[in-house]
A and B are shown apart, each in its own frame.
Chain A
Amino acid sequence: MLRRNFIALAAATAALTLAGAPAFAQDVIKLGASAPKSGPLAGGAAVTHWPNIQLWMKEVNAAGGLKVGDKQMKIELVEYDDKTNGEEAIKNIQRLATVDNVDFLVAPYSTGLNIAAAPMIAKYGYPHIATTAATDGVKDFASRWPNSFWMLGTSTQLAEGIVQTLTKMKDKGDIGNKVALVNVADAFGLELVGAAKPLLAAGGFDIVYETSYPLGTQDLAPVISGAKAAAPDAFVAFSYPGDTFALTEQAQVQGLNTPVFYTGVGTAFPAFAKRFGAAANGIMGIGGINSSDPGVKGYLELHRADLGSDPDFWASATTYAGLQILGQAIEKAGSLDKAAVVEAIKGGTFDTVIGKVSMPNNVNENVWTVGQWNNGVFEAVAGDGLSVGAEPVKKAGWE
């Protein structure tokens, strides 16, 4: 360990001395990226955000770059750490726009940082393709910042997804109508719970247990035992990565055997399947993909081959698709003119790893909303405007 640290330290120092002047070559598209490399959201960004930028650039550059007019242009990345801090994110965008003079930007990571940076990105007219922001505000944002595009759907869509899935299973007779509803107490959890409650009531569900817990809590035994005491048919938690793992482990340990077990962000991480192995089968969560779709299949293979791991089965493919859209729009516009590219995105239909995407109103409405683990793949069982990979099934016990 000591040695490994030393090597890392040595490498870091070497990188420090070597870094500095980036190569200035013509016929290169400069792409700027600012997202967390440290701070509370670094964990999520390391899974969902950064690898996809690397992956896409490698693909594009290996193919000789983008065809802009009659020139082949390779892509060069200028990247900054926003330390999960809105102030840093704004400053980074300013730096990318006025000091580095980048041609295009990759959108920041997470709802909050995307919104914090949006006015600044709009000021410089860059196309802003947000692929990791899921909130009900997207329609407002699209009209407020016409250069912005929102691809991950809304909280209401996500809440509708799980409620529809529950309704489907209830109608089939798989489950009864008792639901335990849990959420992490932050804007994301609150928005989802706020959207889900009226939908559940309308669907004839009875919320037998409801609670929230603070962000960052990993000792969730009381939540699970409370839920267990209420004997629900479905356990639904709008949670974040750390607590998603903790809730699942506690449910497993305490034997909370509900036919539906649903957790939030993090369920779609490959680490989740690795951690719970066969016990993950049947667990539902936010996101999902259709693994029989050829585009998705190709993306999965690419990700595995290049990065040696599965992607996050929610926003990862969307992030990659967002970059594909940017690339295709640049080629379509035939120039590096930002306004022309924004127009091209607005007017076009793009062939991406998540299927055909068009955003005439700046919002992508076609998203997968609920996934279910099935032997190492997080198969979509509910979605809007997209074909799903499988029908939802009852979860067997934990063993």
Chain B
Amino acid sequence: MTPFTNDELKWLGAGAILFAVAALLPLVDQGFYLSLSVNIMLYAALCTAWALFSGPTHYVSLATAAFYGLGTYTVGLGIDAMPYPLLLAIAALIGAALAGLVGAATLRISGVYFVIFTFGLAELVRQLVTWTQTKFATAIGLYVFTDLFEQHIYWMLVALTAAVFLTAFLINRSRLGFAMQIIGNDETVARHVGIDTARSKIVLFMISGAFIAVAGAIMAPRYSYIEPPSAFNPMISFLVVIMALLGGTKRLWGPLVGVIPFTILMDQVSARFPNHTMIVIGLAFLAIVYLIPNGVTGLLEQARARWKARAARMGQEKAA
């Protein structure tokens, strides 16, 4: 592995400080703002993990709910038999395995079909899980009672998000990351220079799926009662896509700048207009599509470019 450059070390240090500060939050507030932060942190982890795969490949995956639900179910089924940390690991393995299977079957085909297939995957997995449960399981209602409080869940989510970021960072500077860049730019070129495009994509999808499954496993104790409609809620898949795209998937921190404003906006909407949430969210959505086509990162980069241009002009004027 190549040694880190100075710039990279700076990023790593800044990231570490940010996460450390985020982890202090439960010491300040244990009420509503902690709940809201759990929500933000959850989607930060999910969206970044999603963008890990979908950013460079441009494949829009709607399978988030499938991985998430599997993670939740792993904990629901195993909590009485196994220690919780082990279940997190198993969830990661199951998520990766499912991603591998799905990837092998669909990633060779065009992106459009991938969208549709993953769209239904959550539904399919949900049915298979319930069917297996009907036929073979003895325990019927799944309860997850642990001693984990909200702040513990929050800390686990912070750790998970940090892990996602670190992984993404390491991937970006690895051979896989380099390969993904070429694939993202032009798949034909990538194939010609001898990159096994399908394999690279599958590996990336597996990593992303594993992280999402772990997120589901972390959230299981929060729901206490695991049932398919909530574990495999298709809304999760949609929200992840929206937030990640709102942020922009070209940068590692892109999804994050989408998640934070979107979650707070959604929250404000549901607090103020409890009876018209849907209408307001719908309008907000359309507004985002029309007004911020390149995501928040696009907006920020535009602003930065403008600022730089102005600074350069000012510099010229001074020099003159």
Stretch at the interface among B133-141, B247-255, B303-311: B133-141
Instruction: Kindly list chain A residues whose C-beta atoms are within 8 Å of the C-beta of B229.
Output: 40, 84, 112, 186, 215
Are the CB atoms of B277 and A115 closer together than 8 Å? Answer: no
Instruction: Kindly list chain B residues whose C-beta atoms are within 8 Å of the C-beta of A191.
Output: 140-141
Indicate whether A298 reaches chain B with its CB closer than 8 angstroms.
Answer: no
- C-alpha gap A347/B121 in the complex (Å): 50
Instruction: Kindly list chain A residues whose C-beta atoms are within 8 Å of the C-beta of B279.
Output: 9, 12
- C-alpha gap A19/B235 in the complex (Å): 26
Are the CB atoms of B271 and A95 closer together than 8 Å? Answer: yes
Instruction: Kindly list chain A residues whose C-beta atoms are within 8 Å of the C-beta of B230.
Output: 84-86, 112, 116
**B235 partner, pick from A37, A39, A214, beta carbons under 8 A:** A39
Indicate whether A294 reaches chain B with its CB closer than 8 angstroms.
Answer: no
Are the CB atoms of B35 and A91 closer together than 8 Å? Answer: yes
**A111 partner, pick from B130, B225, B277, beta carbons under 8 A:** B225
Q: A49-87, CB under 8 A of B: which get 1 and which 0?
A: 000000000000000000000000000000111011111
Are the CB atoms of B39 and A87 closer together than 8 Å? Answer: yes
Nearest-neighbor residue (CB-CB) of B135 within chain A: A212
Indicate whether B142 reaches chain A with its CB closer than 8 angstroms.
Answer: yes
Provide the main secondary structure of the chain A interface: helix
Nearest-neighbor residue (CB-CB) of A92 within chain B: B270
Are the CB atoms of A137 and B141 closer together than 8 Å? Answer: yes
Indicate whether B36 reaches chain A with its CB closer than 8 angstroms.
Answer: yes
Residues 29-55 of B at the A interface (beta carbon under 8 Å): 31-32, 34-36, 38-39, 42
Q: Given contacts A15-B276, A37-B275, is CB(A94)–CB(B145) below 8 Å? A: no
Looking at the assembled complex, report how far the CB atom of B120 sits from the nearest CB atom of chain A, in whole angstroms.
Answer: 13
Residues 222-250 of B at the A interface (beta carbon under 8 Å): 222-225, 227-230, 233, 235
Q: Given contacts A116-B224, A190-B134, A191-B141, is CB(A94)–CB(B32) below 8 Å? A: yes
Residues 265-300 of B at the A interface (beta carbon under 8 Å): 267, 270-280
Q: Given contacts A91-B36, A135-B141, is CB(A85)–CB(B276) below 8 Å? A: no
Instruction: Kindly list chain B residues whose C-beta atoms are within 8 Å of the C-beta of A186.
Output: 130, 227-229
- C-alpha gap A80/B274 in the complex (Å): 5
Looking at the assembled complex, report how far the CB atom of B256 sits from the nearest CB atom of chain A, in whole angstroms.
Answer: 19
Indicate whether B117 reaches chain A with its CB closer than 8 angstroms.
Answer: no
Instruction: Kindly list chain B residues whose C-beta atoms are within 8 Å of the C-beta of A39.
Output: 235
Are the CB atoms of B273 and A19 closer together than 8 Å? Answer: yes
Nearest-neighbor residue (CB-CB) of A20 within chain B: B272
Are the CB atoms of A16 and B141 closer together than 8 Å? Answer: no
Instruction: Kindly list chain B residues whose C-beta atoms are within 8 Å of the C-beta of A135.
Output: 141
Residues 97-150 of A at the B interface (beta carbon under 8 Å): 97-99, 111-112, 115-116, 118-120, 135-137, 144
Indicate whether B143 reaches chain A with its CB closer than 8 angstroms.
Answer: yes
Instruction: Kindly list chain B residues whose C-beta atoms are within 8 Å of the C-beta of A87.
Output: 39, 42, 219, 222-223
- C-alpha gap A108/B295 in the complex (Å): 36
Indicate whether A194 reaches chain B with its CB closer than 8 angstroms.
Answer: yes
Are the CB atoms of B130 and A115 closer together than 8 Å? Answer: no
- C-alpha gap A88/B219 in the complex (Å): 13
Indicate whether A254 reaches chain B with its CB closer than 8 angstroms.
Answer: no
Indicate whether A187 reaches chain B with its CB closer than 8 angstroms.
Answer: yes
Interface size class of A (residues with CB under 8 A): 35 or more
- C-alpha gap A331/B311 in the complex (Å): 69
- C-alpha gap A20/B271 in the complex (Å): 9
Instruction: Kindly list chain A residues whose C-beta atoms are within 8 Å of the C-beta of B235.
Output: 39, 83, 85
Are the CB atoms of A38 and B278 closer together than 8 Å? Answer: yes
Looking at the assembled complex, report how far the CB atom of B160 sits from the nearest CB atom of chain A, in whole angstroms.
Answer: 16
Are the CB atoms of A212 and B277 closer together than 8 Å? Answer: no
Are the CB atoms of B224 and A94 closer together than 8 Å? Answer: no
Indicate whether B131 reaches chain A with its CB closer than 8 angstroms.
Answer: yes
Instruction: Kindly list chain A residues whose C-beta atoms are within 8 Å of the C-beta of B35.
Output: 90-91, 94-95
Indicate whether B127 reaches chain A with its CB closer than 8 angstroms.
Answer: yes
Which of the listed residues B35, B219, B273, B278 has the most CB atoms from chain A within 10 Å of its own CB?
B35
- C-alpha gap A98/B278 in the complex (Å): 25
Residues 211-228 of B at the A interface (beta carbon under 8 Å): 219, 222-225, 227-228
Q: Given contacts A37-B275, A80-B271, A111-B225, is CB(A85)–CB(B280) below 8 Å? A: no
Q: Given contacts A116-B224, A144-B145, A215-B228, is CB(A94)–CB(B233) below 8 Å? A: no
Instruction: Kindly list chain B residues whose C-beta atoms are within 8 Å of the C-beta of A37.
Output: 274-275, 277
Which of the listed residues A39, A94, A135 has the most CB atoms from chain B within 10 Å of its own CB?
A94
Which of the listed residues B31, B141, B222, B233 has the most CB atoms from chain A within 10 Å of its own CB?
B141
- C-alpha gap A191/B130 in the complex (Å): 13
Are the CB atoms of A94 and B223 closer together than 8 Å? Answer: no
Instruction: Kindly list chain A residues whose C-beta atoms are within 8 Å of the C-beta of B277.
Output: 37-38, 81, 83
Residues 155-201 of B at the A interface (beta carbon under 8 Å): none
- C-alpha gap A208/B158 in the complex (Å): 54
Instruction: Kindly list chain A residues whose C-beta atoms are within 8 Å of the C-beta of B31.
Output: 94, 97-99
**A79 partner, pick from B227, B228, B274, beta carbons under 8 A:** B274
Instruction: Kindly list chain B residues whose C-beta atoms are within 8 Å of the C-beta of A119.
Output: 224
Closest 7 CB pairs of A and B: A98-B31, A115-B225, A94-B35, A94-B32, A98-B32, A86-B223, A91-B35
Q: Which residues of B contact A (CB under 8 A)?
A: 31-32, 34-36, 38-39, 42, 127, 130-131, 133-134, 140-143, 145, 150, 219, 222-225, 227-230, 233, 235, 267, 270-280
Please, could you name 14 A-B residue pairs with CB atoms under 8 Å apart, sorted by A? A16-B273, A16-B280, A20-B272, A81-B277, A84-B230, A87-B222, A87-B223, A88-B270, A94-B35, A112-B223, A116-B230, A185-B127, A186-B227, A212-B134
With A39-B235, A81-B274 already in contact, 11 other A-B pairs whose C-beta atoms are closer than 8 Å: A19-B272, A83-B235, A83-B277, A86-B230, A87-B39, A91-B39, A95-B32, A115-B225, A119-B224, A120-B150, A215-B130
